[in-house]
Each structure stands twice: as C-alpha cells, then as structure tokens.
Chains A and B, each alone.
Chain A
C-alpha cells in the first residue's frame, strides 16, 4: 500500500509557502528511509524547476470556485484527502522541518484510520500544557488536536471525516456559532474544524489520537508556548537559531530532534536553505 507525505501550499500575503514546502520536502528526503520519503505537493503556484524532483506529484488545487483566499487556505484543505496519490498519508503544515526518522510514526499509524497530534513540545523538549492560543478549545470542550501533523488512510472512516471537514469549512460560521461560541474565533481554523469534526463523529478522542502518551509530537514554536516568563510576539527575538552545515538545528542551546514547526516565516533564511540543498546535493 502506498505511503507518503502530502503537503498543501498556496502562496499568500507575500509568504512563499511553496518554497517552504520545498524545504520541508528536502528535510523529509534527508531524514527518512528512501522507501518512506515520498512527497507530493498540492499547489496552484509555480514550483521552481530545481525543486520539482523532490515531489512524486505536483497536484493542482481542484474545485476552485473563486480566487478569494482564506487565511491558511482553510477552505481548500479538506481536498487533500481526495487528491492525495497515497493510500496512507502524513499531512504536514509546510512551515515545518522534519528532523527525525518517522518510521515509528508509520508503525503507530497502522492502528488508526485518522490520527491527530494532541501533545506538542516546546523547543526545550517540555510538554506544552498551555492554552494561550487555544482558549476556544478549552472553553468549548473541543479535543486538543493539531492538524499541522496528522495522518489519514484512505478508508470509509477517513472519507467521512474529510466530508465533515468540507462541510464545516464551507459553513464554518454556522458550526462555530453552534459549537465554538465561547472565544468565537472570527475566522476559520483547520485545528478547530478538525477537532469539531472529531467531536461530532465520536464521543471519545481515542479513535483519533492517543492522549495518554506522546508517541506522535512536534515542537511548536509559537512564542507564548515556550514557558518563558517574558516573551515577545516573535520567538526569534528571544532565542538564537544555529543551523550547521550538517543541518543540525539548535534553538537557543537546545538541539532539535523532532518535527520542528517554526511558524515564523523569517526563520527560513537563504543560508539555511542553501545548507539543506547542499547536504541533499541539489
């Protein structure tokens, strides 16, 4: 059965998400066993010729009704299920780097049709139990899911799940008004939409995640999650970034060994990209 990483990128607000996707794909190639390093990209934007070989498929975003773009393209994300060429998929936000071998993740995912990360870490490797950015989840008793790293296997269950994602995405004001009335978000969010779909489909979260242990996780660099007493809005103003020629990443004084969600777009400098390209031989 085919397995691969499925990425979605739509350039917006001056952010080159396609380039981020290419860099993410490079880190996948560098960190995974060759047979587990398939990557496909869903985008309507131009992919630089030199990066095209990173992807098995570059797939246009289907079924577009208009050119209006929602923040983080939340109105299109549900489509990944339908257009992915793989039977088993790990979906990643493109502002991430994969810095570890995820073979164990694939093993764990064998037990699930859909899996969402529910436990994340700060750059020091500590579990984050802080809901600074997730008041709506706490107040409305939504499962604490992170869609930035999730898994699905083509199946009736996953199809139904993504049909609900589609329904909620297309009618988010209606659903959020009913189920997310406390700390109402004011704009659609894939995390909230996914959590809401899970809540509608199942009384327990165990069908979609493992809340008791943390086999599946990523480092989330949003500033207020880092356990700092004093924090800036931008984490890069507080700690240094050290990226060496072997593509080892240190944030502050901490070696990063997980999937790394950098969130700040200025993190991805030309120098970092150059080092990754060089290591990969691009």
Chain B
C-alpha cells in the first residue's frame, strides 16, 4: 500500500501558500519520512519561487487547467473571509478551500495524511497514523495556546447541534466507506445553504471544518459514535490574532494576544509540539527569514 502526505496550496492575492506548503513539506520529510503530494493551481509560481521543489514535493497535482475540477477551483475564488495579522491588522481575502472535498480522488496514495499547509510539524507523533488499523482519523479536541480565549466556536458548530471537527489535518485509507464519506462531503459543499439551515449555524462562507463535522455526524448514523477515530493527542493552535516571531525545526515562539488588552501580547515558546498556525502572514515572514 502506498502512503504519503497531501498538502493543498491555492494562493490568493496576498498569501503565498506555495511557500508555506514547502516549509510544511520539508517538516513532513524530516519528522514523518513520508512522500508529499501538492495540489495546486500555481505550478508556474512553484517552479519560479522554489527551484528545488522536486526535492520537496514528490508529486505535483496541477489543477490549473484541469476541466474536471474547473468549477470547484473557480468557485473557490468567490469565497472570502477575514485574515488577521496580529490583533490589530486584517485583510479580507479569497479563501480557496473548496477542493478539499475532492481529496479521495486527488490523492495518489492509498493511505493519506492530509494537512493544512499552516500546520507545522515538530515531532513524529503522526507516524502513528500508518501503524494503526482505523481508516479515518481526525481531531475533535484542540487546545488554544492562549489559554484564555472563548473556544466555543471550536467545540460545536453551533450551540444546538453537533461537535466540531478540524479539517486541518486528517488521515484516511482508501476504501468504500471513506469514498462514501468524501462523496457526502462533496454533496454537503454543493448544498451548503441547506446544511447551514439544518445544522443551525450562521457562517455563510463554506468551511471545511463544518462540512467535515456534518459528514462525520451522518457517517456515524446521526449519533456520537466511532466510525472515525482521533488523531494522536490534541490539535494545538494559535489564531491569526497571534503572531509567530521565531521558529526552528522543533521550537516556535509566538506573541499571543493578551486578554482584554487589545494589541498587547504575551511571549510563548513551544518545544517539540506541532502547531496549527493560523496567522499566515507571520508564518510567511518567518519562512522568508
């Protein structure tokens, strides 16, 4: 059985996901020793900005002029959301996240770990995925490294409905059931308004986290059950109001926004911990250093 890691990189007007993906892939190789596939519509930029890209990415899946995925790539460009760079600065940019539902067919691997490019690995815990028997692993439990923020939006997709799951990172093994899961995910994306109403949440913008949560709930027979299992440990994250100010292979330093003091921060260092870093601007700055 083939195994590997899949990363998506769809640049918008300001965020260079290609560069962020390269850093993510470099860490995959270092800590997980797995081949990496990149799904993107910016192959020209990849070749231009990262000349050694063939050493970093084992497979490049180019969706730029791919007719099969044209509509979903185009629709992605109509999804906008706010991206913060620390507590005081933000931009409203394209959020090109719709292709995630096509992962089953896009992945060249039988056993795939899919990770957001802004999830930076700093240990080998995720090797566990390929050594365990369950066919779908994902995170429900997460830790906000600030320790003080209201995390309710990451606990339920709305107060009255289902648990929140993180599409940031997940593992799947190709089989009939996981194929059904991804078909279902696609159906939810295509009928977003309907599911938004039925699951009582307000986000007009399509969110993979919500779609995954709904699809998992349905796969579990509309109950809390165990069709899926948890990835090891908990997902650690900082949000885009925090700022990454330094990083090495195993250490990250953040400025974490203070509670009740807008624009002020507390210094935080992590060691040997993989972290989902939502402030892409600061992440890109650290990669460029």
Contacts and interface: CB of A to CB of B under 8 A. Distances in A.
Given A253-B198, A253-B199, A229 B152 contact: yes
A105 interface: no
Interface in B105-163: 152, 159-162
B217 interface: yes
B190 to A, nearest CB: 19
A250 B199 CA distance: 13
Contacts of A252: 160-161, 200
B51 interface: no
B69 interface: no
Contacts of A126: 224
A126 B223 CA distance: 10
A255 interface: yes
A230 interface: yes
A253 B224 contact: no
B38 to A, nearest CB: 35
B199 to A, nearest CB: 6
A125 B223 contact: yes
Nearest to B199: A253
Nearest to A250: B222
B221 interface: yes
A234 to B, nearest CB: 13
Contact of B159 (A125, A228, A255): A228
Interface residues of B, number: 13
Nearest to A257: B223
Contacts of B200: 239, 252
B160 A238 contact: yes
A100 to B, nearest CB: 12
A239 B222 CA distance: 15
Contacts of B224: 124-126
A183 interface: no
Interface in B189-204: 198-200
B152 A254 contact: no
A255 B223 contact: yes
Given A124-B224, A125-B224, A229-B152, A253 B162 contact: yes
A239 B160 contact: yes
B152 A253 contact: no
B161 A253 contact: yes
Interface string A224-255: 00001110000000110000000000101111
A228 B160 contact: yes
Nearest to B220: A255
A255 B220 CA distance: 10
B221 A255 contact: yes
A230 B159 contact: yes
A215 B200 CA distance: 32
B222 A255 contact: yes
Interface string A251-269: 0111101000000000000
A229 to B, nearest CB: 5
Nearest to B221: A255
A255 B162 CA distance: 12
A113 B274 CA distance: 54
Interface in A41-89: none
Contacts of A238: 160
B222 A254 contact: yes
A252 B159 CA distance: 11
A1 to B, nearest CB: 35
Interface in B170-208: 198-200
A85 B160 CA distance: 43
Contacts of A124: 162, 224
B184 to A, nearest CB: 14
Interface of B: 152, 159-162, 198-200, 217, 221-224
10 contacts: A125-B223, A126-B224, A228-B160, A229-B159, A250-B222, A252-B200, A253-B161, A253-B217, A254-B223, A255-B222
A-B pairs, top 8 by smallest CB distance, nearest first, are A255-B222, A125-B224, A229-B159, A239-B160, A228-B159, A255-B223, A238-B160, A253-B161
Given A229-B152, A253-B198, 16 more contacts: A126-B224, A228-B159, A228-B160, A229-B159, A230-B159, A252-B160, A252-B161, A252-B200, A253-B162, A253-B199, A253-B217, A253-B222, A254-B162, A254-B222, A255-B221, A255-B222
